[in-house]
Structure 1
């Protein structure tokens, strides 16, 4: 169940991101390890809903980012997928990389998003139709993801063909200045 502690942590994270002085804390991180940790934190909900979670991110993949903020991004994206995927569904996490960027994709067989929902999904306190999922939400998780990605010069976007089609949330972590291009 969604807790006051989780909501407080999300509000504090948003406040911290608003207060940062523009000097990002970069270190080499291993996304696969952090994604597995995020899955462990969601394990109770994953088991309750009989979800399959596949992490297909190479263990040796590294990228310069903040460990704390990357953990927050991965926990929010995976938590969102768990929340909006029906019982027995599938969540898959993949990575694509080239010399300019690393893109990590969180795809699910969940409830999907309408065109209108896709426009607002990264807004503070936005929640998709509550009647279509079974867990409470603060509406802050994806807003945090957006702010973190903006702060570090990355990008986040979502693809979905509408209700009942699942979603693909993608984050782009730049390796070079020209790393994260607009999706076509």
Structure 2
């Protein structure tokens, strides 16, 4: 009997042990199921991130295509403007050629007069001949058609054209007989390039006046500026959003694929930053060209602006082992918008670093020249060839293919030119023979004389 009780207890103990193990097995299976669900969620998250990364790459590619289209449109607009300017130049050349033919002819005055009238009537420009009292004594067909006037001979210029400003230009020409006066003038919703010059014959003084209608050219320029400003504005927000998404993905990467994804994200971030700066420079250039950029002119120490700019580019110069030397008097000041001119200096120093050989030196100098301050940035690089020095300040202009492979946008020098000229100064590239390398000089009004 005692043996049976013992067996019963043993069986009960075994049953309890089996039940406990079955409970643990259920718990283990439940834990495994939870882990499998977690792994599936992680895989899904990684797939979602990979899809987001692919979408991001596609979006960047689309924006790059839009930017290339923008460049193409700008180039086409500039070609139209260049064609219009070339047509105007060809008309002026034809006029000069026929004038020389008239001077060379040894025939009678009737022939010369007939030839001059034929030439004048064939011209697209409105041509007037005036006496010293601003009365019209001759006019061509284009002028009559332009101002809708019949029998204008003997009438006052202002009465025929409805533009008293023209008489002011004529009076300036009368006061300075040896000079040719040129001015852009708006008359009755049209824009004209006006040219006036005096002619003295047999003791009498006459004034030749030419009006070239450049309304379409001005509209093309305005349309180009507006287009650049609008497209730049529209693209800045999506690119900024892309950059924010990239920053978010940087922080959310899972360890298994972090290295590969981070490398791709860095490449996208680098290209996005390049697009952002190009759009920013396009927008800034359009604002400057349209006259909408406001200059905050204050007395500014030149040395401070140059030292601040040099410090910002210190890491770049150290990477190429380039030494930046500044020779600026501490008391030298200019009347300028500090931020805008600092941008000019930054751009010139950046260019000098880019084109200087490793181990080279960049010298920045400034000096007072009459009522201006001249600032120069000189390097040991190849400089700008003589045939390109006039065009180097045009937007997107590249000197040669090898120089276009840098990381610039092709707009920096164009912005420098507009900023400096908005301050009443000038900027130019110095010949290699004069400075032994690359050198840019720009002038600003001296604070001492303003």
Provide the rounded CA distance (Å) in 2 between the counterparts of 1:98 and 1:20.
28
2:407 pairs with 136, 140, 160, which one?
A: 136
Provide the rounded CA distance (Å) in 2 between the counterparts of 1:48 and 1:174.
35
Aligned-pair CA distance for 1:134: 6.8
Provide the rounded CA distance (Å) in 2 between the counterparts of 1:105 and 1:94.
5
What TM-score does the superposition give when structure 1 sets the normalisation length? 0.84
Aligned-pair CA distance for 1:110: 0.7
Aligned-pair CA distance for 1:22: 8.2
Structure showing greater relative contact order (alpha-carbon pairs closer than 8 Å, 6 or more residues apart) = 1
TM-align CA RMSD: 2.6
Higher-strand-fraction structure: 1
Alpha-carbon spacing, 1:127–1:105, altered in 2? closer, same or farther (3 Å): same
- 8 Å CA contact 1:86–1:111 kept in 2: the answer is no
**Pair 1:67-2:338 in alignment:** yes
Aligned-pair CA distance for 1:116: 1.7
Alpha-carbon spacing, 1:130–1:60, altered in 2? closer, same or farther (3 Å): farther
1:32 pairs with 280, 299, 303, which one?
A: 303
Stretch of structure 1 that moved more, 11-20 or 126-135: 126-135
| SS of alignment partner, residue 3 of structure 1 | helix
Stretch of structure 1 that moved more, 3-12 or 77-86: 3-12
| SS of alignment partner, residue 311 of structure 2 | helix
The equivalent of 1:151 in structure 2 is: 422
Provide the rounded CA distance (Å) in 2 between the counterparts of 1:114 and 1:45.
25
Counterparts of residues 21-170 of structure 1 (less than 5 Å) = 21=292, 24-132=295-403, 135-161=406-432, 165-170=436-441
Aligned-pair CA distance for 1:4: 3.0
**Pair 1:5-2:266 in alignment:** no
- 8 Å CA contact 2:352–2:379 kept in 1: the answer is yes
Structure 1 unaligned regions, length at least 5 = 180-184
Provide the rounded CA distance (Å) in 2 between the counterparts of 1:29 and 1:68.
10
Alpha-carbon spacing, 1:84–1:48, altered in 2? closer, same or farther (3 Å): same
Provide the rounded CA distance (Å) in 2 between the counterparts of 1:3 and 1:40.
22
Higher-helix-fraction structure: 2
Alpha-carbon spacing, 1:32–1:8, altered in 2? closer, same or farther (3 Å): farther
Provide the rounded CA distance (Å) in 2 between the counterparts of 1:147 and 1:128.
19
- CA-to-aligned-CA distance 1:102-137 (integer Å, 9 cap, x gap): 000111111112112212111101123342587311
Alpha-carbon spacing, 1:134–1:19, altered in 2? closer, same or farther (3 Å): closer
* Greater C-alpha radius of gyration: 2
Stretch of structure 1 that moved more, 54-63 or 14-23: 14-23
Aligned-pair CA distance for 1:55: 1.2
- CA-to-aligned-CA distance 1:38-71 (integer Å, 9 cap, x gap): 1122222211111010011122211111011111
Structure 2 unaligned regions, length at least 5 = 1-269
What TM-score does the superposition give when structure 2 sets the normalisation length? 0.36
- 8 Å CA contact 1:83–1:134 kept in 2: the answer is no
The equivalent of 1:182 in structure 2 is: none
Aligned-pair CA distance for 1:23: 6.4
Provide the rounded CA distance (Å) in 2 between the counterparts of 1:40 and 1:23.
26
2:287 pairs with 16, 29, 52, which one?
A: 16
Provide the rounded CA distance (Å) in 1 between the counterparts of 2:279 and 2:292.
22
Alpha-carbon spacing, 1:17–1:133, altered in 2? closer, same or farther (3 Å): closer
- 8 Å CA contact 2:352–2:381 kept in 1: the answer is yes
Provide the rounded CA distance (Å) in 2 between the counterparts of 1:39 and 1:134.
24
